[in-house]
Amino acid sequence: LYEYLIQNADDAGARKFYLIADERSFNTPKPNSSLLTPEMILWQGPALWIYNDSEFTEKDFKSLRNLGRSEKSKDNTKIGRFGIGLNCCYHLSDVISFVSGEYITFLDPSQKWLPKTGNPPRKPRGIRIKFIEKDFMKRYSDQAKPYMDIEGCDFSKRFNGTLFRIPLRTKQFMSQSEISDKALSIDELVKM
């Protein structure tokens, strides 16, 4: 897992890369919570954070939309050209999010957790939100809370770099996963 994440950072030209095992939980249900959907409460618990100092490009975003068919596959200079990279994080979680530049992105390959979009409305595999323009912090403060003050992230200005949040699939919620029936604790994550 960690090797793929380092490869992705290297391919992006990052000079800094680190991981944080975060034990904090923000999953206390409350009325009128400001999450993207009420179901997202399940993904507000302990998480793996992945930081690097490079920003996602439009080409990178395009690769994410084509799950398993990375744009890097055509570039022999890229270590991560086989399309595994971020996909390996689905061993830990069903919903991955990240901040890069002026966007926050949520990825949900099972199309179960994110709000419906489009006409007719349907659950997407991912959404990308221009966080300053859409006033993300004000509209979705509970969703944003885990990110606050991690590497200076506060949703009021452009984020220099890329910060992934991989919330851990817990034993309590693993039965609701369509991706894996395996859970992982913070202690197990640290020992990996």
pLDDT in tens, 22-73: 999 997 767 778 999 998 999 999 999 999 999 988 888 887 766 554 444 4
pLDDT band at residue 91 using 50, 70 and 90 as cut-offs: confident
What is the distance between the alpha carbons of residues 78 and 59, in angstroms, rounded to a whole number?
Answer: 14
**For residue 76, what are the contacts with CB-CB under 8 A and spacing of at least 6?**
none
pTM above 0.85, yes or no: yes
Q: What is the pLDDT of residue 78?
A: 41
Q: What percent of the chain has pLDDT over 90?
A: 53
